[in-house]
């Protein structure tokens, strides 16, 4: 007889670790399976920091989920004593009509979220490291800030274990099939059965979810750390916000204060400017030309930041064609399989609420959270993914 569980969670990264914690909290007999070790850097949930914000330019439909995620992040910090969130404030900068500014304002107004609009002069006065052009403005949100991805995953794994979940690392799912009581899951070590399967595969979605009907594009992304000219003093989190900055061509960068002391510098990256890749073929080397392109972009908006290049690291986005998430019962196996994938470079801030939603879907088949936007069924007819290549950006 193979061991039997209520729910098996596959992938214990950002979303799967949260799902395991929420399932175990509800008393479900939970098994988590992860291909690598705990809190690794080969997927999408590493690199020391992630932005969180509520005035969401992507779509106002995300805001209720964000409000719940903020509550759950607070609870996570309380329950584990780990630092997972620092609300240092954030600015969304660009021309007034840019998606970053106009979209953020739309969500703020739609949901009555506290915010301030700053013109270029006021932005320069408040945050002297930022040098906007005269026709650029910013939406400032005091409740924006940063999350610690590694601490968040570790905190969820800790809670899952404390609440009785069994977590197996270095044990990948090889395949699964429906069986009489639910699903049967095979790994190199064993076979397990469960009533429900929850799949949170990150960048491995194209391999694990071939019959989902979602044309994913996995993208290589680069994070850069610089030591600013004149030191990190003006970049300390007590004085410096997180930022997303859209230029006149629609290119967005985002970045953080210097959160790990003067030696570690401050992190910055392009938002959505990756090249298609696969988890197996991603080029982890960052070239001088890429560093130079980042420094060049910064020269007009944060000119002191690229004083000295310290290091870079790669990470993967799992994009859907419309950049909205996929969170749903698997259309081909609606009775027993739930999926969470395609987070398209903006999922981390939702991690704990996605865990709550996945526990709802696996245990009751439904959720009170608004997730209509994430239903894959009607969205992707006729879309095709871009072909994986490793051409430079
Ligand atoms: C550079 C970068 C910057 C980002 N910035 C932000 C930001 O500022 N704000 C924000 O909200 N979001 C941001 N994101 C996006 C966010 O980090 C992701 O949406 C989120 O981490 C995705 O979590 P996940 O659980 O889907 O993937 P992962 O955390 O990668 O987890 C998937 C897991 O599945 C495991 N797995 C795969 N196949 C198998 C198998 N066969 N068996 C067992 N386990 C398997 C993998 O090993 C992995 O651990 C950023 C992402 C990157 C890369």
The pLDDT of 126-130, averaged and rounded, is 98
Q: Residue 101's pLDDT band (boundaries 50, 70, 90)?
A: very high
Which residue puts its alpha carbon closest to atom 51 of ligand 1? 345
Q: What are the distances in angstroms from CA 26 to CA 20, 32, 176, 224?
A: 10, 15, 25, 40
The minimum-distance atom of ligand 1 relative to the CA of 316 is: 53
Residues 6+ positions from 200 with CB-CB distance below 8 Å: 9, 10, 11, 12, 13, 14, 15, 16, 19, 339, 340, 341, 358
Q: Residue 381's pLDDT band (boundaries 50, 70, 90)?
A: confident
The pLDDT of 335-357, averaged and rounded, is 98
* pLDDT at residue number 392: 39
Q: Residue 385's pLDDT band (boundaries 50, 70, 90)?
A: low
Distance between Cα 188 and ligand 1 center (Å): 23
Distance between Cα 11 and ligand 1 center (Å): 9
Q: What is the pLDDT of residues 24-38, one digit of tens each?
A: 999 999 999 999 999
Full-model pTM: 0.97
Region of 161 (left: φ > 0; alpha: ψ -120 to 50; beta: rest) is alpha
Q: Is the CB of 316 under 6 A from ligand 1?
A: yes
The pLDDT of 37-57, averaged and rounded, is 98
Distance between Cα 346 and ligand 1 center (Å): 10
Q: What is the pLDDT of residues 241-255, one digit of tens each?
A: 999 999 999 999 999
CB 64 within 8 A of CB 370: yes
Q: Is the CB of 201 under 6 A from ligand 1?
A: yes
**End-to-end Cα separation, the chain, in angstroms:** 51
Region of 352 (left: φ > 0; alpha: ψ -120 to 50; beta: rest) is alpha
The minimum-distance atom of ligand 1 relative to the CA of 47 is: 1
- Rounded percentage of the chain residues whose pLDDT exceeds 90: 94
Q: Residue 272's pLDDT band (boundaries 50, 70, 90)?
A: confident
* pLDDT at residue number 283: 97
The minimum-distance atom of ligand 1 relative to the CA of 51 is: 8
Q: What is the pLDDT of residues 171-217, one digit of tens each?
A: 999 999 999 889 999 999 999 999 999 999 999 999 999 999 999 99
309 CB-contact burial (10 Å; exposed 0-12 / middle 13-18 / buried 19+): middle
Query: How many other CB atoms are found less than 10 A from the CB of residue 163?
Result: 17
Q: Residue 340's pLDDT band (boundaries 50, 70, 90)?
A: very high
Q: What is the pLDDT of residues 275-325, one digit of tens each?
A: 999 999 999 999 999 999 999 999 999 999 999 999 999 999 999 999 999
* pLDDT at residue number 390: 43
Distance between Cα 123 and ligand 1 center (Å): 33
Query: Which two structure tokens, joined as six digits, stand for 10?
Result: 């596959």
* pLDDT at residue number 295: 98
Query: How many other CB atoms are found less than 10 A from the CB of residue 369?
Result: 16
Residue of 250, 261, 243 whose CA lies nearest to 310: 261
* pLDDT at residue number 317: 98
CB 9 within 8 A of CB 167: no
Which residue of 66, 170, 346 sits with most ligand 1 atoms within 8 Å of its CB, as the best mutation to test the pocket? 346
Residue 159 has pLDDT above 70, yes or no: yes
Q: Is the CB of 219 under 6 A from ligand 1?
A: no
The pLDDT of 66-86, averaged and rounded, is 98
* pLDDT at residue number 389: 44
Q: Residue 1's pLDDT band (boundaries 50, 70, 90)?
A: low
Strand, helix or coil for residue 85: strand
Q: Is the CB of 355 under 6 A from ligand 1?
A: no
Count, residues in the chain:
393
Q: What is the pLDDT of residues 170-181, one digit of tens each?
A: 999 999 999 988
CB 178 within 8 A of CB 40: no
């Amino acid at each position: 007889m193979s061991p039997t569980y209520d729910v098996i969670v596959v992938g214990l990264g950002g979303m799967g670790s949260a799902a395991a914690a929420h399932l175990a909290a509800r008393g479900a007999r939970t098994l988590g399976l992860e291909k690598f070790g705990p809190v690794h850097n080969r997927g999408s949930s590493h690199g020391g920091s992630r932005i969180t914000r509520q005035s969401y330019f992507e779509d106002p439909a995300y805001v209720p989920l964000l409000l719940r995620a903020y509550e759950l992040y607070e609870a996570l910090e309380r329950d584990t004593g780990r630092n997972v969130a620092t609300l240092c404030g954030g600015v969304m900068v660009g021309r007034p009509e840019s998606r970053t500014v106009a979209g953020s304002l739309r969500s703020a107004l739609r949901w009555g979220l506290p915010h301030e609009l700053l013109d270029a002069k006021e932005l320069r006065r408040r945050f002297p490291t930022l040098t906007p052009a005269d026709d650029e403005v910013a939406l400032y949100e005091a409740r924006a800030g940063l999350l610690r991805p590694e601490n968040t995953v570790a905190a969820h794994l800790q809670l899952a274990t404390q609440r009785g979940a069994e977590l197996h690392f270095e044990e990948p799912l090889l395949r699964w099939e429906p069986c009489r009581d639910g699903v049967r899951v095979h790994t190199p070590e064993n076979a397990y059965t469960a009533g429900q399967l929850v799949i949170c595969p990150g960048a491995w979605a194209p391999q694990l979810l071939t019959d989902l009907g979602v044309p994913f594009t996995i993208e290589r992304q680069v994070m850069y750390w610089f030591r600013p000219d004149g030191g990190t003093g003006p970049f300390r989190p007590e004085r410096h916000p997180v930022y997303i900055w859209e230029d006149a061509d629609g290119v967005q960068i985002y970045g953080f204060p210097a959160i790990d002391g003067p030696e570690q510098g401050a992190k910055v990256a392009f938002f959505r400017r990756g090249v298609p890749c696969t988890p197996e073929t991603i080029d982890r080397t960052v070239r001088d030309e890429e560093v130079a392109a980042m420094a060049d972009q910064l020269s007009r908006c944060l000119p002191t930041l690229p004083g000295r290049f310290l290091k870079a690291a790669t990470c993967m986005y799992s994009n859907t064609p419309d950049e909205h998430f996929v969170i749903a019962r698997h259309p081909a196996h609606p009775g027993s399989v739930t999926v969470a994938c395609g987070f398209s470079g903006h999922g981390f801030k939702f991690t704990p609420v996605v865990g709550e939603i996945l526990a709802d879907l696996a245990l009751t088949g439904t959720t009170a959270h608004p997730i209509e936007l994430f239903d894959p069924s009607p969205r992707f007819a006729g879309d095709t993914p871009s072909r994986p290549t490793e051409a430079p950006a």
